[in-house]
């Protein structure tokens, strides 16, 4: 009888530890104050809504943290993913970027959207509203190209308009 009691007590202790770990949380999620307007206000196009819906959770300081972001393992993974996204491109810091870097990031963003690399598939599993349909991809691509100078980018990497005026856009000095 006593061994059965010890076994139940052991299982209860394990359950309590697991519950406490799940409720503990991941600490403060990274939501820095925005120092500038996000790019949607800069593009001033119908794509503002698309950018907000599909990009801003990982690529701005306007992240909407879901409830599961407060769970330890998942929260750490999400926090790291958002930090990496912001390191690559943070639309909240758009106005602080030099023109060459802006042109480079617009071109890279357009390419990633058209190739279907953004938003990433694992993000879309839990955020289906961020999925861009073919018409939305085309609209976003068109608006990004327009921001680059009013025309489609050459597949050979040619520069025109915005990008041509300010150089190749390879200036990463402000990172």
pLDDT digits 0-9 by tens, 57-77: 899 888 888 888 887 777 888
The whole domain housing 159 covers 2-165
Task: State the average pLDDT for the chain.
Answer: 75
Please state the pTM of the whole predicted model: 0.66
In a domain, 29, yes or no: yes
Report d(CA 153, CA 149) in Å as an integer: 9
91 is a domain residue: yes
Q: Please report the pLDDT score of residue 67 as a whole number.
A: 85
161 domain residue, yes or no: yes
In a domain, 174, yes or no: no
**Total residue length of the chain:** 175
Q: How confident is the model at residue 32, as a pLDDT?
A: 56
| Residue 96 included in any domain | yes
Q: What is the pLDDT of residues 18-59, one digit of tens each?
A: 776 666 655 555 555 555 555 556 577 777 788 888 888 899
The answer to whether the beta carbons of residues 107 and 169 sit under 8 Å apart is yes
- Domain assignment of residue 142, yes or no: yes
| Model pLDDT, residue 104 | 93
Map tokens 């059965």 to a residue.
4
Q: Does residue 6 surpass a pLDDT of 90?
A: no
pLDDT value for 51: 84
Please state at what angle helix 134-147 crosses helix 47-54, rounded to 10 degrees: 110
What's the CA gap between 153 and 161, in Å, rounded?
A: 10
Domain count, the chain: 1
47, two tokens = 């794509």
Neighbours of 142 (CB within 10 A): 15
Residue percentage of the chain with pLDDT more than 90:
13
């Amino acid at each position: 009888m006593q061994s059965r009691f010890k076994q139940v007590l052991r299982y209860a202790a394990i359950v309590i530890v697991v519950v406490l770990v799940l409720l503990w949380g991941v600490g403060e999620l990274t939501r820095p104050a925005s120092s500038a307007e996000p790019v949607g206000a800069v593009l001033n196009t119908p794509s503002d809504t698309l950018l907000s819906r599909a990009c801003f959770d990982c690529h701005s300081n306007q992240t909407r943290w879901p409830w599961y972001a407060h769970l330890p393992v998942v929260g750490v993974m999400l926090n790291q993913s958002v930090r990496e996204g912001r390191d690559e491109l943070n639309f909240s810091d758009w106005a602080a970027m030099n023109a060459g870097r802006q042109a480079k990031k617009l071109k890279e963003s357009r390419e990633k959207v058209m190739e279907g690399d953004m938003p990433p598939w694992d993000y879309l599993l839990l955020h289906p509203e961020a999925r861009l349909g073919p018409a939305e991809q085309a609209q976003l691509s068109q608006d990004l190209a327009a921001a680059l100078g009013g025309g489609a980018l050459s597949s050979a990497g040619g520069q025109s308009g915005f990008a041509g005026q300010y150089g190749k856009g390879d200036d990463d000095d402000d990172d």
